Amino acid sequence: MKKLLFISAVSLLSCNRKAPTAHPPVGGVLSQRDLDVSKERMRNLNTIERGQIQDWISGQSVKYYPTQLNYWVNVEGFDQRTRRADNTPVSYSYVLYDFDETRIYDQPFERRDARFGHFNELKAIENALRFIHDGEEITLLVPSSLAYGTFGDEKNIDNDIPLIIKLKAL
Protein backbone atom coordinates (compact mmCIF):
# COMPACT_ATOMS: atom_id res chain seq x y z
CA MET A 1 0.00 0.00 0.00
CA LYS A 2 2.87 2.39 0.82
CA LYS A 3 4.43 1.64 -2.57
CA LEU A 4 1.17 2.44 -4.35
CA LEU A 5 0.82 5.70 -2.43
CA PHE A 6 4.46 6.65 -3.20
CA ILE A 7 4.08 5.89 -6.94
CA SER A 8 0.84 7.91 -7.08
CA ALA A 9 2.47 10.90 -5.38
CA VAL A 10 5.48 10.81 -7.78
CA SER A 11 3.13 10.51 -10.77
CA LEU A 12 1.10 13.53 -9.68
CA LEU A 13 4.20 15.62 -9.09
CA SER A 14 5.65 14.76 -12.48
CA CYS A 15 2.41 15.82 -14.20
CA ASN A 16 2.59 19.28 -12.63
CA ARG A 17 5.99 20.15 -14.12
CA LYS A 18 6.04 22.55 -17.02
CA ALA A 19 7.21 20.91 -20.23
CA PRO A 20 10.57 22.21 -21.46
CA THR A 21 10.57 24.47 -24.51
CA ALA A 22 11.35 22.55 -27.65
CA HIS A 23 14.16 23.91 -29.81
CA PRO A 24 15.00 22.72 -33.29
CA PRO A 25 18.19 20.69 -33.47
CA VAL A 26 21.39 22.32 -34.67
CA GLY A 27 21.04 22.46 -38.42
CA GLY A 28 17.31 21.87 -38.06
CA VAL A 29 14.55 23.68 -39.86
CA LEU A 30 13.28 26.96 -38.44
CA SER A 31 9.71 28.12 -38.78
CA GLN A 32 8.84 31.03 -41.06
CA ARG A 33 8.15 33.14 -37.97
CA ASP A 34 11.65 32.43 -36.62
CA LEU A 35 13.15 33.35 -39.98
CA ASP A 36 11.14 36.58 -40.11
CA VAL A 37 12.26 37.53 -36.58
CA SER A 38 15.87 36.85 -37.54
CA LYS A 39 15.61 38.93 -40.74
CA GLU A 40 14.06 41.83 -38.84
CA ARG A 41 16.78 41.66 -36.18
CA MET A 42 19.52 41.74 -38.83
CA ARG A 43 17.81 44.59 -40.68
CA ASN A 44 17.59 46.65 -37.47
CA LEU A 45 21.16 45.82 -36.47
CA ASN A 46 22.43 46.77 -39.93
CA THR A 47 20.61 50.12 -39.75
CA ILE A 48 22.10 50.86 -36.32
CA GLU A 49 25.63 49.84 -37.39
CA ARG A 50 25.44 51.89 -40.60
CA GLY A 51 24.51 54.93 -38.51
CA GLN A 52 27.37 54.27 -36.08
CA ILE A 53 29.85 53.87 -38.94
CA GLN A 54 28.57 57.09 -40.59
CA ASP A 55 29.06 58.92 -37.27
CA TRP A 56 32.61 57.53 -37.01
CA ILE A 57 33.37 58.58 -40.62
CA SER A 58 32.19 62.14 -39.92
CA GLY A 59 34.93 62.47 -37.28
CA GLN A 60 37.73 61.34 -39.63
CA SER A 61 40.04 63.39 -41.85
CA VAL A 62 40.06 60.61 -44.49
CA LYS A 63 37.06 60.26 -46.81
CA TYR A 64 35.27 56.91 -47.05
CA TYR A 65 32.97 55.87 -49.87
CA PRO A 66 30.11 53.35 -49.71
CA THR A 67 30.31 50.27 -51.93
CA GLN A 68 27.56 48.26 -53.52
CA LEU A 69 28.14 45.40 -51.05
CA ASN A 70 27.36 47.59 -47.98
CA TYR A 71 30.85 48.38 -46.68
CA TRP A 72 32.94 51.54 -46.99
CA VAL A 73 36.41 51.97 -48.49
CA ASN A 74 38.86 54.88 -48.52
CA VAL A 75 39.20 54.84 -52.34
CA GLU A 76 36.67 56.69 -54.49
CA GLY A 77 35.06 54.57 -57.24
CA PHE A 78 36.69 51.45 -55.81
CA ASP A 79 34.02 48.91 -56.79
CA GLN A 80 33.72 50.45 -60.27
CA ARG A 81 37.19 49.18 -61.19
CA THR A 82 37.83 46.15 -63.38
CA ARG A 83 37.00 43.03 -61.43
CA ARG A 84 39.46 40.13 -61.10
CA ALA A 85 38.18 36.87 -62.57
CA ASP A 86 37.75 33.52 -60.80
CA ASN A 87 40.90 31.38 -60.56
CA THR A 88 43.08 34.53 -60.63
CA PRO A 89 45.80 34.24 -57.98
CA VAL A 90 46.03 36.91 -55.30
CA SER A 91 48.31 37.34 -52.30
CA TYR A 92 47.18 39.57 -49.48
CA SER A 93 47.36 40.41 -45.81
CA TYR A 94 45.00 42.22 -43.48
CA VAL A 95 44.78 43.52 -39.95
CA LEU A 96 41.53 43.78 -37.96
CA TYR A 97 40.58 46.69 -35.69
CA ASP A 98 37.45 47.58 -33.74
CA PHE A 99 35.94 51.06 -34.04
CA ASP A 100 37.94 52.23 -31.00
CA GLU A 101 40.87 51.57 -33.39
CA THR A 102 42.21 48.83 -31.14
CA ARG A 103 44.05 46.10 -33.02
CA ILE A 104 42.28 42.79 -32.42
CA TYR A 105 45.07 40.31 -33.30
CA ASP A 106 48.80 40.94 -32.91
CA GLN A 107 49.75 39.26 -36.18
CA PRO A 108 48.19 40.09 -39.56
CA PHE A 109 46.29 37.42 -41.47
CA GLU A 110 48.15 36.55 -44.67
CA ARG A 111 47.58 34.31 -47.69
CA ARG A 112 49.82 33.71 -50.67
CA ASP A 113 48.61 32.75 -54.13
CA ALA A 114 44.99 32.20 -53.14
CA ARG A 115 42.69 31.71 -56.11
CA PHE A 116 39.30 33.36 -56.37
CA GLY A 117 36.49 30.86 -56.14
CA HIS A 118 38.69 28.50 -54.10
CA PHE A 119 39.04 30.21 -50.74
CA ASN A 120 36.64 31.23 -48.03
CA GLU A 121 37.23 34.70 -46.64
CA LEU A 122 35.06 37.37 -45.03
CA LYS A 123 32.59 38.62 -47.66
CA ALA A 124 33.90 42.18 -47.61
CA ILE A 125 37.53 41.07 -47.93
CA GLU A 126 36.84 38.69 -50.79
CA ASN A 127 34.84 41.38 -52.57
CA ALA A 128 37.52 44.05 -52.01
CA LEU A 129 40.24 41.70 -53.29
CA ARG A 130 38.38 41.57 -56.61
CA PHE A 131 39.04 45.32 -57.12
CA ILE A 132 42.32 46.04 -55.31
CA HIS A 133 45.52 46.66 -57.31
CA ASP A 134 48.71 44.73 -56.54
CA GLY A 135 50.74 46.58 -53.90
CA GLU A 136 47.77 48.76 -52.90
CA GLU A 137 46.66 49.17 -49.29
CA ILE A 138 43.08 50.13 -48.48
CA THR A 139 40.90 50.49 -45.40
CA LEU A 140 37.47 48.87 -45.20
CA LEU A 141 34.72 49.77 -42.73
CA VAL A 142 32.62 46.65 -42.41
CA PRO A 143 29.28 46.07 -40.63
CA SER A 144 29.11 42.87 -38.59
CA SER A 145 26.89 41.12 -41.14
CA LEU A 146 29.84 41.13 -43.59
CA ALA A 147 32.38 40.36 -40.87
CA TYR A 148 31.92 37.68 -38.19
CA GLY A 149 28.18 38.24 -37.69
CA THR A 150 26.05 36.88 -34.89
CA PHE A 151 28.61 34.40 -33.54
CA GLY A 152 31.87 36.35 -33.72
CA ASP A 153 35.02 34.36 -34.37
CA GLU A 154 34.70 32.58 -31.00
CA LYS A 155 38.15 33.94 -30.04
CA ASN A 156 38.84 37.68 -29.88
CA ILE A 157 35.85 39.03 -31.82
CA ASP A 158 32.53 39.11 -30.02
CA ASN A 159 29.16 38.78 -31.75
CA ASP A 160 27.72 41.67 -33.82
CA ILE A 161 30.96 43.69 -33.98
CA PRO A 162 31.62 45.93 -37.01
CA LEU A 163 35.28 46.04 -38.03
CA ILE A 164 37.93 48.25 -39.57
CA ILE A 165 40.05 46.14 -41.91
CA LYS A 166 43.36 47.32 -43.31
CA LEU A 167 43.85 45.20 -46.43
CA LYS A 168 46.96 45.03 -48.60
CA ALA A 169 47.44 43.20 -51.88
CA LEU A 170 50.98 41.80 -51.89
Q: What is the pLDDT of residues 82-110, one digit of tens each?
A: 999 988 999 999 999 999 999 999 999 99
Structural domains of the chain, with CATH: 62-169 (3.10.50.40)
- pLDDT, tens digit, for every residue of 34-70? 778 778 888 888 899 999 999 999 999 999 999 999 9
pTM listed for this prediction: 0.77
Q: In whole angstroms, what is the distance from residue 86 CA to residue 126 CA?
A: 11
Residue 94: left (phi > 0), alpha (psi -120 to 50), or beta?
beta
- Please enumerate, as own/partner, the contacts of 108-113 that have beta carbons within 8 Å and a separation of 24 or more: 110/170, 112/170, 113/89
- Between 10 and 124, where is the model more confident? 124
Longest dimension (CA), the chain: 87
Q: In whole angstroms, what is the distance from residue 73 CA to residue 52 CA?
A: 16
